[in-house]
Structure 1
Amino acid sequence: MVLPHPDTDQDFALVQRLRRAGCVFAEDEAALITATARTPHERDLMADRRCAGLPLQHVLGWAEFCGLRLRVDPGVFVPRPRSRYLAHQASALAPPTGVAVDLCCGTGALGAVLTHHHPALTLHASDIDPASLDCARHNLPGAHIHQGDLFDALPHHLAHRVDLLVANVPYVPSDHIALLPPEAREHEQHRALDGGDDGLDLVRRVSARAPHWLAPGGHLLVEVSGAQVSAARQAFTDAGLTCRVRHCPEQEATVIIGTR
């Protein structure tokens, strides 16, 4: 995305205001706010919210992810740049006309990438959070949307029929939540961040039940930190999945892939 540089006194004033509020990329953020706002008054309100510490994506009402513009409502987990690697890995494994599930879908960012590259894919997306599902319905037209806790949300007829299961579950250890940037810990739901004592509570829950839902040869993909690889691999192996690890140093992203 090519952003215009500020060329008016109002533009420069907005940049300076954002800088004083601590926004590192103030010029880019000012351009995005100006391009998104429909009126000068809305522009001022958006600037107020950003300077008050709200995530830029919540201020704009959208986030860019893998070239797609996705709706992101206040309080909803913002898709992270590092998760682009998970999206790319999932897309590379997705069958053109198979069945895919975006578990803990949040805004539906991963599912949106999958259906963008594989429009004939049958996609199911689920999340426990109603606000997230409102975004997912907007971002995933034509997908089957379900509300509930992990696999409890899915229709029973999907058992042993899922070719690709992608689950970007929380993996931050509980005692690391306080170390996250204020944008995340103060403006995103705690349950979208907290992965339990070692960060892998939900990874274990998902991997343990995944074989019941995966088709023969189907894949489960999750994102973890580099320090969690050994324990995450053990969880996949304990569930009977063949496991491999993919890592992208440039994006500091690690993906665990399990195959039934």
Structure 2
Amino acid sequence: MPVPESSAVDRPPTPAFDHIVALLRSAGCVFAEEEARLLLSEAPGPAELARNVRRRVEGVPLEYVLGWAEFAGRRIVVEPGVFVPRRRTELLVNQAVALLSGSPLAVPPVVVDLCCGSGAVGAAILQALTDVELHAADIDATAARCARRNIGPLGGFVHRGDLFQALPTALRGRVGMLAVNAPYVPTEAIRTMPPEARLYEPVISLDGGEDGLDFHRRVAAGSIEWLAPGAYVLIETSERQAAGTSAILAAAGFRTRTVRSEDLDATVVVGRALPGIDKD
């Protein structure tokens, strides 16, 4: 996983630094210098540093070694076995914040971070907009626990369960925005993913079914009864799958548009509930 240079501590090279860089390079780490600076700055002592370097050389994702990932300008706690937030998902956050800032949907607007993983999306939204009622949900117990560490201190709520089954019934018909980063990797494509994801992140957080769009279908079909009038559904997808994701939302009664960021290599489909959408 690329490490932003802004995360690294600026310090002159030392023999220890050069040695760690050489070890990381030999293990195939593309951002060896940045990772070495982080490992040096985060380790409380020589023994912890040696252990962390060894784990990274063995292939453990840097975020698991450090215990956090940088996302949308803040550190997000990342526990082993939880999906590591990617920088591309910042587009999902940016779109959510822009829409909520431009036209509030409720007072306060209810926002749901669905398939929340570490809770990175929800935490970033809460950081930008304090006047939202933020709920997050994930089926995985480890992810839900991790999300509570990131979202709880900011005033959000985390629920465990399968998609909408996790949400309190009191939210039915009140949700102004669904921000969704559900699994969208086609099953057969998982074996081609980088080892850091394929070997360490849970398959449940990656596998989107045969075409990668199974969860998008479930979200589109299940969201209607939960949404307030004029609510938004934002779904992260890939550039290749965007047309499919858009068609799924359109068939469920949403007006859709696709947002693309080349800088982030990110794609988000934005759906808005049309007037008279059938909730029966």
TM-score above 0.5:
yes
Give the Cα separation in 2 of the matches to 1:6 and 1:87.
35
In the superposition, the TM-score normalised over structure 2's length comes to 0.90
Q: Which residue of 1 aligns with 2:236?
A: 223
**Which whole-Å deviations, capped at 9, do the CAs of 1:223-253 have from their partners, x for residues lacking one?**
1111112221111011111111111122221
Q: Which residue of 2 aligns with 1:128?
A: 139
Give the total of aligned pairs: 260
> What value does the CA root-mean-square deviation take over the aligned residues?
1.1
Q: Secondary structure at the match of 1:250?
A: coil
* 1:244 counterpart (238, 257, 269): 257
**Contact in 2 for aligned 1:207/1:235 (Cα 8 Å):** yes
Q: Which residue of 2 aligns with 1:40?
A: 46
Task: Tell me if 1:259 matches 2:277.
Answer: no
* 1:85 counterpart (91, 98, 109): 91
Give the Cα separation in 1 of the matches to 2:12 and 2:251.
55
**Contact in 2 for aligned 1:174/1:197 (Cα 8 Å):** yes
Q: Secondary structure at the match of 2:10?
A: coil
Q: Secondary structure at the match of 2:69?
A: strand
Query: Percent identity among equivalent residues?
Result: 47
Deviation at 1:5, TM superposition (A): 3.9
Task: Tell me if 1:50 matches 2:62.
Answer: no
Give the Cα separation in 2 of the matches to 1:222 and 1:6.
42
Give the Cα separation in 2 of the matches to 1:247 and 1:9.
43
**Contact in 2 for aligned 1:97/1:118 (Cα 8 Å):** no
Q: Secondary structure at the match of 2:241?
A: helix
Deviation at 1:6, TM superposition (A): 4.5
Deviation at 1:97, TM superposition (A): 2.6
**Which whole-Å deviations, capped at 9, do the CAs of 1:65-89 have from their partners, x for residues lacking one?**
0101010011110001111111111
Paired residues for 1:7-86 under 5 Å: 7-86=13-92
Paired residues for 1:143-154 under 5 Å: 143-154=156-167
**Which whole-Å deviations, capped at 9, do the CAs of 1:148-183 have from their partners, x for residues lacking one?**
000000011111101111110011101100110000
**Which whole-Å deviations, capped at 9, do the CAs of 1:115-136 have from their partners, x for residues lacking one?**
0011121100110111111211
Task: Tell me if 1:233 matches 2:239.
Answer: no
Q: Which residue of 1 aligns with 2:174?
A: 161
Q: Which residue of 2 aligns with 1:99?
A: 110
**Contact in 2 for aligned 1:6/1:27 (Cα 8 Å):** no
In the superposition, the TM-score normalised over structure 1's length comes to 0.97
Instruction: Please tell me the residue identity of whatever aligns with 1:259.
Output: R
